Amino acid sequence: RRELCEIICTQKEKLQRYEARLGDLVRAYKSLQKEKDALELSLKALTSSKASEKARSSASSESLTGKQGESKAEPSPLSAAEGQGNESSASDSAQDESSEDHVAALSQALSTLSEEKARMEAAFQADRKRLIQEKEAALRQAEEVQKNAAEQTASLDAKMAELRSKLREEQMAREQEQSDHAAMLRELQRLLSEERTLRDNLEDKLEEATRKAAQADLAKEYEAKVEKLTQELDEVRKRLLASEEKLRQPSPLLLKLQQELVEVKAQHQAALEQEKKRAGNVQARLHQQTTGSEARVASLESRLQELSQAVGTYDRLRMQDRAAIQRLRERLSQLAQENAALASAAGIGARASELPSQDSNLDVKTLLDRFGKMRLLLKESNQRAEKPVDLIAYFRELAEEEVLGLHAKCREELRQLKDEFEQYKVHAQSVLQGMGGSQAGFSQGQEAVAELERLRQQVKDLQGQLRTQRARFEAQEESSREAAAKLQHALSEAEVRHRQECQRLEQRWSSKLSELESLMQAQRDRSLALVEEKDRELQALRATLASLESENQRYDWQAQCEAAGSSLAMETSRDRDTSSEGEGDRLDPLLSELLSKNVGYTSKDGKNKTECQLLHYAQELARKDAELLRALREKRDVESALRDLQRSVLLKEQKDAQEREALRLRLSQLEH
C-alpha cells in the first residue's frame, strides 16, 4: 500500500509538472502570436508608407509636367499658382493621414511588444523569487535535519554513559559478592581450624582420662559399652558406606545445570552470530546507499554547474543585447535628428512656394542637394558665430509646428516607444532596416525566446529532479533510520535476554551453594553432637577412674595406652592422606585385628573395653574429617565452576559491550 501511495504521488507530481509545462507553452505561443501580429502590422504599415511615397513622387512628377505644358499654352501665372496650391494642400493632407495611420500602427505594435516583454519579465522575476524561496526552504530543512541528528547523537551518548555506569555498578556488585564468598570461605576455614584444635584438646583429655582409668571392677560395664559401641560403629559404617555410594554417583542437579549451561552458551553464540550477520548486511546496505547518494549528489552538482554556466552565458548574451540596443538607441536618435532635419526641409519647401516659379519648378533631388549644402553652410556659420543656436531643437520645433502637428499624447507614446525600443533589438532592426532586416531580427528574436524557454524548461527539469532526489534521499534516510531502530531494538532485546539468563544462572548457583552450605551445617551439627556425646562418656569415665590409686596398674595402663595411641595416630594420619573411597576398607581389618586382640585380653583384665572405645572414637573422628574434606572439595569445585561461569559471563558482556559500541559508532556515522 505504501508503494502504491508513492506511485500515485509521483504520478501526481508528474501531472502537475506537465500541466505547468503545457501552460507555459500556451502562454509562450500566445505571446509569440501577439508579437507576430504586431510585427505584421508594422511591416504592412512600412510597406504601405513606401508605396504611398512612390505614388506621391510619381503624382508630383506628372503634375509638374502637366503644369509646364499648361504654362506654355496658357501663360497665366494666377491660374497656375491656384492649381499648384490645391494640389499641394491635398497631398499634404493625404500625407498627414497616412503618417498618423502608420504611427498608430507602430505604436500599437510596440505597445503589444512592451506588454509581452513586461509579462515575460514578471514571469522571470516570479520564477526567480520562487527558486530563491525553494533554496532557502531547502537550507532551512537541512539545518533542521542537522539539529535533529545532533540531538539524537547527544541522546545516544547519554544512553551509552548510563549503560556504562550500570555495567560498572554490576561489576562492583560482582566483585563485592566475590569478596563476600572469600570472607565466607575464610570463616569456614577458621571454624574448621577451631574444630581441629578442639579435637586435639579432646584427644589430650582422652589420653589423660585413659591414664587415670585403671579400675578393674568396671570390666563388665566396659564390655557392655564396647559391644554397644561396636553395634553403633557397624550402623555408622553402614550409613557411611551408603553415603559414599551416594556421593560416588554424580548429582543429577549438577548434570542438568551443566547441560543447561552448555545449551545457553550455544544459544547465545548462535544469537551473536546472527546479530553479526545482520549487522554486516546492514553495513553493506548502508554502504551501497551512501555510495549511491554520493553519486547522485555529484550528478546533481554537475547539472547545477551546467545550469550556472548556461545562466552565465545567458547573462553575457543579455549584456551583449543591451550593448546592441544602446547602439540602436544612438542610431534611433540619429534618425530622429535626420527626421527633424527632413521635416524642417519640408517646412522650408512649403515656405518656398511663395518664391518665384523658377524655384518651385525644381525637382526633389535638386532641392535635397540644395538643402544639404544649406545645412552645411548653416552648421559652419553656427560654429563661427559667437552665440551658436541649437539647430536640432530649432528643426524639431519647426517639424512639430508645421509638419507633424502631433499632440502631447503622441509625443509621450513616441518617447515610450523609444524607451521600449532599447529592449527589443531584433524588432527595432526589423522596423528600421526594412523587410530583410525585419526577417533577420524576427528570427533572432524567436531564437532568443526559444533559448529563454529552453533555459526555463531546463531549470524546471532540474528542479523536478532535485525534488525527486530529495524525496528519494529522505526515503533512504527513513529506511536507514528504521534499520538502525530495528538493530537497536534487537540489541536491547539481546541485552535483556542476556541479563535474564545471567540472573537465572546466578539464582541456580546461589541455590546450589546454599544447599551445600546447609549440608555442611548439618554435617557439622552431627559432628558436634557426636563430640558432645563422647565428651559425656569421657566425663563418666573420669568420674569412675578417679578412685584408682594403684601405681603399678596405672603404669601398665599408661604403657598400653601409649601403644594404642601410637597405632591410632598412625591410622588417623593414614586416613587423612588417602581418599575417602578406601577409608572403610582400610579401617575394617584394623578394627577386626584390634577387636581380636582385645577379645584375647578380656580374660586378663577389663582394659580392652576402654581401648575399643578409643578406637571407635578415633574412627568416627577420621570419618568425620573425611566427610568434611569431601564436602569442602565439592564446595571448592562448585565455587570454581561458579567463578568460571562468572568469568565467561563477564567475557560475553564485554563482547556485547564492544559490539554495542561498534553499532553505536556506525549509527552515529550514518546519522552524520
Q: Where are the domains of the chain?
A: 197-284+478-671
**Confidence bin at 79 (pLDDT 50/70/90):** very low
Locate cell 502631433: which residue?
A: 406
**Confidence bin at 436 (pLDDT 50/70/90):** very low
Amino acid identity, position 164: R
pLDDT at 322: 76
**Confidence bin at 555 (pLDDT 50/70/90):** very low
Percent of the chain scored above 90 by pLDDT? 0
Mean pLDDT: which of 310-314, 385-389, 634-638 is highest? Answer: 634-638
Do residues 420 and 110 lie in contact, with contact meaning Cβ atoms separated by under 8 Å? Answer: yes
**Terminal Cα distance for the chain, rounded:** 31
Q: Taking the model in full, what pTM does it have?
A: 0.23
Dihedral sign for Cα 486, 489, 493, 495, please. Answer: positive
> Is residue 615 packed enough to be buried (19+ CB in 10 Å), middle (13-18) or exposed (0-12)?
buried
Region 409-421 average pLDDT: 59
CA triplet 384, 390, 396: central angle to 5 degrees? 140
d(CA 63, CA 337): 31
pLDDT at 99: 67
Determine what percent of the chain falls in helix, strand and coil, rounding each to the nearest 5: 95, 0, 5
Mean pLDDT: which of 123-137, 341-355, 617-631 is highest? Answer: 123-137
pLDDT at 132: 87
**Confidence bin at 304 (pLDDT 50/70/90):** low
Q: Is the pLDDT of residue 389 over 70?
A: no
**For 439-454, how does the pLDDT look when each residue is reduced to its tens digit (9 = 90+)?**
444 455 566 566 667 7
Grid coordinates belonging to 593 = 585385628
d(CA 552, CA 550): 6
Do residues 601 and 607 lie in contact, with contact meaning Cβ atoms separated by under 8 Å? Answer: yes
d(CA 452, CA 35): 16
pLDDT at 583: 41
Q: Is the pLDDT of residue 206 over 80?
A: no
Residue 331 backbone phi and psi in degrees, to 5: -65, -40
**Confidence bin at 247 (pLDDT 50/70/90):** low
d(CA 501, CA 264): 8
Q: Is the pLDDT of residue 584 over 60?
A: no
pLDDT at 439: 44
Instruction: Name which residue leads in pLDDT, 42 or 197.
Output: 197
pLDDT at 146: 85
Q: Is the pLDDT of residue 238 over 80?
A: no
Q: Is the pLDDT of residue 22 over 50?
A: yes
pLDDT at 419: 65
Q: Is the pLDDT of residue 109 over 60?
A: yes
Amino acid identity, position 322: R
Instruction: Name which residue leads in pLDDT, 355 or 632.
Output: 632
pLDDT at 124: 80
pLDDT at 532: 75
134-143, 295-304, 379-388, 607-616: lowest mean pLDDT where?
607-616
Residue 406: partners with Cβ closer than 8 Å, 6 or more residues away? 103, 400, 414
d(CA 394, CA 616): 159
d(CA 414, CA 395): 17
Instruction: Name which residue leads in pLDDT, 590 or 127.
Output: 127
Grid coordinates belonging to 161 = 554513559
Do residues 91 and 6 lie in contact, with contact meaning Cβ atoms separated by under 8 Å? Answer: no
Q: Is the pLDDT of residue 424 over 60?
A: no
Q: Is the pLDDT of residue 471 over 60?
A: yes
Do residues 481 and 41 lie in contact, with contact meaning Cβ atoms separated by under 8 Å? Answer: no
Do residues 612 and 594 lie in contact, with contact meaning Cβ atoms separated by under 8 Å? Answer: yes
Q: Is the pLDDT of residue 13 over 70?
A: yes
Mean pLDDT of the chain: 68
**Confidence bin at 390 (pLDDT 50/70/90):** low
Do residues 556 and 611 lie in contact, with contact meaning Cβ atoms separated by under 8 Å? Answer: no
d(CA 371, CA 365): 10
**For 28-58, how does the pLDDT look when each residue is reduced to its tens digit (9 = 90+)?**
788 778 778 877 777 777 777 666 655 555 5
pLDDT at 194: 82
Q: Is the pLDDT of residue 610 over 70?
A: no
d(CA 257, CA 280): 34
Q: Is the pLDDT of residue 2 over 70?
A: yes
Q: Is the pLDDT of residue 382 over 50?
A: yes
Grid coordinates belonging to 313 = 552565458
Locate cell 509538472: which residue?
A: 17
Amino acid identity, position 188: L
pLDDT at 341: 67
d(CA 286, CA 476): 9
Region 346-359 average pLDDT: 47
DSSP designation for 580: S
d(CA 307, CA 9): 27
pLDDT at 573: 43
Other beta carbons within 10 Å of 606: 20
Q: Is the pLDDT of residue 417 over 50?
A: yes
CA triplet 227, 534, 215: central angle to 5 degrees? 65
Region 150-157 average pLDDT: 84
Dihedral, 608, 609, 615, 616 alpha carbons, nearest 10:
160
